[in-house]
């Protein structure tokens, strides 16, 4: 059983309602709040031994990352995060001070974006710590940036660089948490332990007023670009030489491994999207003014056939959807 297959089955239980503008199938749900604002809601759960290990993350990093995952979903909708709730399943071997250190990590990130903790729940668990975070955000009415907005002729873009998080994870798994590291190694490790959700960029893209399809890169570029293609029912072609691969990952692991990390490694928490070709120069330059790197990595070719291809040296191959999958 795979996560995406299960979600498709669960979607059959979701009832239509006038207040629900976006339900299951995007980065977050969007519901009517008032005449001027929509509410954005998302929830992510991470489990010890599956999504995190104490051998690769400090306790505060676990909390920081649990919240970052959700803020990234809000960013992918163009929204502003406002509040969060935390539910924990706590095994007997975890003590109170360890749990509080996890909350300190969440608070480090929450303060940065002005997100307020408003509640949650704690229960006992038998095997491994479980953390479930719900974030509530807001956006102007009908301004959410959705995966189904890609159109023929659009430029496909990605923010930042990709592959660093998986490179950092490989270093942590091979070297341990407290190893002495080079500057390049430290840079990769920090991306994995404390990813930077692209909230500012999401808001910037929303403020442009342009039609933009958007997704966050949590499971790897290959998986996320497929989600855009399927939601918009379009064919997308990427250009391999334009993928913004982490220079540190290339230096430490080689170009081919770094490329695989970018495509399939996951947890970079950058944004990938599409925008009309005429609007691309504007959003790229506006992002640059804010210190944010945006790279054109491909184009939307035609509609009616959800496919994703990679072009290299004039030849193209179909991209397999092989990013990180849960289950």
Classified as helix, coil or strand, 235 is strand
| DSSP collapsed to 3 states, 68-110 | HHHHHHHHHCCCEEEEEEEEEEECCCCCHHHHHHHHHHHHHHH
Q: Is 285 annotated as a binding residue?
A: no
Q: Is 73 annotated as a binding residue?
A: yes
Q: Is 108 annotated as a binding residue?
A: no
- On whether the CB atoms of residues 188 and 168 are closer than 8 A, the answer is yes
Taking the alpha carbons of 136, 138, 142, 145 in that order, is the dihedral positive or negative? Answer: negative
Cα 118 from chain centre: 23
Q: Is 44 annotated as a binding residue?
A: yes
Q: Is 279 annotated as a binding residue?
A: no
Q: Is 36 annotated as a binding residue?
A: no
d(CA 256, CA 167): 12
Q: Is 79 annotated as a binding residue?
A: no
Helix pair 59-76, 183-193: axis angle to 10 deg: 70
Q: Is 105 annotated as a binding residue?
A: no
Q: Is 78 annotated as a binding residue?
A: no
Q: Is 121 annotated as a binding residue?
A: yes
Q: Is 60 annotated as a binding residue?
A: no
Q: Binding site: what residues are annotated?
A: 27, 44, 51, 73, 103, 120-121, 147, 216, 218-219, 267, 324
Q: Binding site for substrate: what residues are annotated?
A: 51, 267, 324
Q: Binding site for Mg(2+): what residues are annotated?
A: 27, 44, 73, 121, 216, 219
Q: Binding site for ATP: what residues are annotated?
A: 103, 120-121, 147, 218
């Amino acid at each position: 059983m795979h996560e995406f297959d299960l979600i498709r089955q669960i979607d059959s239980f979701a009832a239509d309602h006038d207040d629900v503008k976006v339900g299951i199938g995007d980065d977050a749900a969007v519901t009517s709040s008032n005449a001027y604002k929509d509410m954005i809601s998302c929830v992510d759960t991470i489990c010890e031994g599956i999504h995190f290990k104490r051998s690769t993350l400090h306790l505060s990093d676990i909390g920081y990352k649990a919240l970052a995952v959700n803020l990234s979903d809000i960013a992918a909708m163009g929204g502003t995060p406002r509040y969060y709730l935390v539910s924990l399943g706590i095994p007997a071997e975890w003590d109170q001070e360890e749990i509080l250190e996890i909350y300190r990590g969440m608070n480090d990130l929450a303060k940065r974006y002005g997100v307020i903790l408003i509640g949650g729940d704690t229960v006992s668990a038998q095997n491994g710590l479980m953390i479930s975070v719900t974030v509530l955000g807001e956006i102007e009415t009908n301004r959410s940036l959705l995966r189904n907005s890609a159109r023929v002729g659009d430029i496909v873009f990605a923010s930042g660089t990709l592959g660093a998080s998986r490179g950092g994870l490989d270093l942590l798994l091979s070297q341990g948490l407290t190893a002495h590291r080079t500057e390049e190694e430290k840079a990769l490790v920090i991306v994995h332990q404390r990813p930077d959700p692209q909230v500012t960029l999401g808001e910037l893209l929303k403020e442009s007023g342009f039609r933009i399809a958007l997704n966050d890169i949590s499971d790897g570029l290959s998986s996320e670009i497929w989600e855009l293609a399927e939601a918009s029912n379009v064919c997308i072609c990427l250009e391999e030489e334009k993928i913004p691969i982490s220079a540190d990952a290339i230096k430490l692991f080689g170009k081919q491994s770094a490329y695989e990390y970018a495509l399939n490694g996951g947890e970079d928490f950058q944004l990938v999207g599409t925008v009309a070709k005429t609007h691309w120069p504007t959003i790229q330059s506006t992002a640059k003014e804010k210190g944010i790197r945006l790279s054109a990595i491909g184009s939307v070719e035609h509609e009616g056939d959800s496919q994703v291809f990679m072009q290299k040296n004039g030849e193209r191959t179909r991209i397999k959807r092989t990013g990180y999958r849960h289950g």
